[in-house]
Structure 1
Amino acid sequence: MNYTTLLFDIDHTLLDFDATERAALRQLFEEEQLEWTAEREARYRTINRSLWQALERGEVTRQEVITSRFVAFFAEQGRTVDGSRMDTRYRAYLSQGTELIAGAIELLDALKGKYQLYVVTNGVAATQHARLKGSGLAPYFDGIFVSEETGYQKPMPAFFDYVFDRIPDVTRNQTLIIGDSLTADIQGGISAGIATCWFNPGHAAASAELTPTYTIERLDQLVTLLGTKEVDWTTSK
């Protein structure tokens, strides 16, 4: 299939969210005089992930996610916090995170001008726009769709309807979504009737219920998949 439009998730696909999150949590814990440990970081991530997955299923609101995650985490540490204020501080640190997945810039250099490129993300709008700008990724994209601004989130079909209503000269059968999340990106793409590419660098187990059109483990494999002219990846970090 000759694709004309590529939809990119950003966290864990183009931007290294794990590194960004770790740095933000370290800063927050230091301010709260709470020792950072790998176990505490892992526990926060478990709480946070479960809430975002509940949002994807439509069980909670975005506001409930961002105000309750730190309340729940710090309650386990024996502390009572204002979830909204804590989240505001955390997201200020998170906005500074601009570390890239290896090969991200080289990939976009190879694709820019050959495809319509768009961001589709479930992140908080102010945070995601700041990180895209700070990382240098923003200029590569023809548009950025953040769930907070659309009023819908992946994998809701309404999110993709919103996106397609705002992309000129696009057809779904010539669109490919690239992302790391089976439940948000791949499920969303399947529900929207578009091709899907699962970015799976960690060799996670596949789902029996969700079958992506393609699977890649490195970003340079997308260039090969699309048949785009090869570029020099030796500068990737």
Structure 2
Amino acid sequence: MSKYRFVLLDADNTLLDFDRAEEIALQTAFARWEVPLTEAVRARYQVINSRLWEQFERGEVSKEKLQSQRFDELFAELGLPHSGADFNRTYMDALGEQGCSIPGAADVCRRLAQLCPLYLVTNGVSRTQHRRLQGSDITPYIADVFVSEDTGYQKPQKEYFDYVAAHIPGFDRAAALLVGDSLTSDMMGGQNAGIDTCWYNPGGKPNALGVPITYEIARLEELPALVAGA
């Protein structure tokens, strides 16, 4: 019998193909606002957005502020008068239409769901994430979804995982595994919560932060055997 009776799965870039979804949403939003999306603009947006998400994970900025400020900063640098909040609504509407999953993710979820219940744990925006999941092929295998915006906390905060634990029937941290691609939100979150972790690291990145990790996989397809054999 497996050690793990609960599997907590990150959504973006673990099961859902966020990079692809983001690119389509950015192209759609910039086209609607008639702003050229050059490689330089795209690269600058990624720098600004990543910095603000890191601040969000540290509790230094709210989700609402993050969403508008990333575009406010970008447009200020471009010398454009556009409202970041208004542009963000266009972007988030476009993003919500993108439920594409990582190749093979649905089959991995199907196999995992035969072993134990699966739960999504995500720092995404609630309305957008739920819309994306409605159109995703992983949804039939997910028992419940915990979006940070709905909990009042976010990964990697211990309080976020306390909320998750309180809302899963019979939850036992010693029998749970947290799977995700982020060192800062997923792996550090598991450490903060006292939950075993599995780092999904398809790019073979180094653990530059030295975060304790229980397992590491390069392919999602490795996960069912790992859970079954633990």
- Deviation at residue 78 of structure 1 after TM alignment: 1.1
Distance 1:62 1:98 in 2: 21
> 2:86 matched to which residue of 1?
85
Distance 2:218 2:44 in 1: 27
Distance 2:103 2:213 in 1: 22
Distance 2:3 2:21 in 1: 35
Distance 1:197 1:94 in 2: 27
Aligned AA (2:123): N
- Deviation at residue 69 of structure 1 after TM alignment: 0.8
Q: 1:148 aligned to 2:160?
A: no
Unaligned runs of 5+ in 1: 229-237
The total of aligned residue pairs comes to: 228
Secondary structure of the equivalent of 2:135?
Answer: helix
Question: TM-score by structure 1 length?
Answer: 0.93
Distance 1:115 1:50 in 2: 36
> 1:113 matched to which residue of 2?
114
Aligned AA (2:97): Q
Residues 124 and 147 of structure 1 are in contact (CA less than 8 Å); yes or no, is this contact kept in structure 2?
Answer: yes
Aligned AA (1:26): Q
- Once the two structures are superposed, the pairs formed by residues 24-43 of structure 1 within 5 Å of their partners are 24-43=25-44
- Once the two structures are superposed, the pairs formed by residues 119-138 of structure 1 within 5 Å of their partners are 119-138=120-139
Residue by residue, what CA displacement relative to the aligned partner does 1:8-56 show, whole Å, maximum 9, x if unpaired? 1010000110111111111111122222222221211111111011010
Question: TM-score by structure 2 length?
Answer: 0.95
Unaligned runs of 5+ in 2: none
Indicate the percent of aligned positions where both proteins have the same amino acid.
43
Secondary structure of the equivalent of 1:186?
Answer: helix
Distance 2:175 2:40 in 1: 44
Deviating 4+ runs (over 4 angstroms): none
Secondary structure of the equivalent of 2:8?
Answer: strand
Residues 102 and 219 of structure 1 are in contact (CA less than 8 Å); yes or no, is this contact kept in structure 2?
Answer: no
Taking only aligned residues, the RMSD between alpha carbons, in angstroms, comes to: 1.2
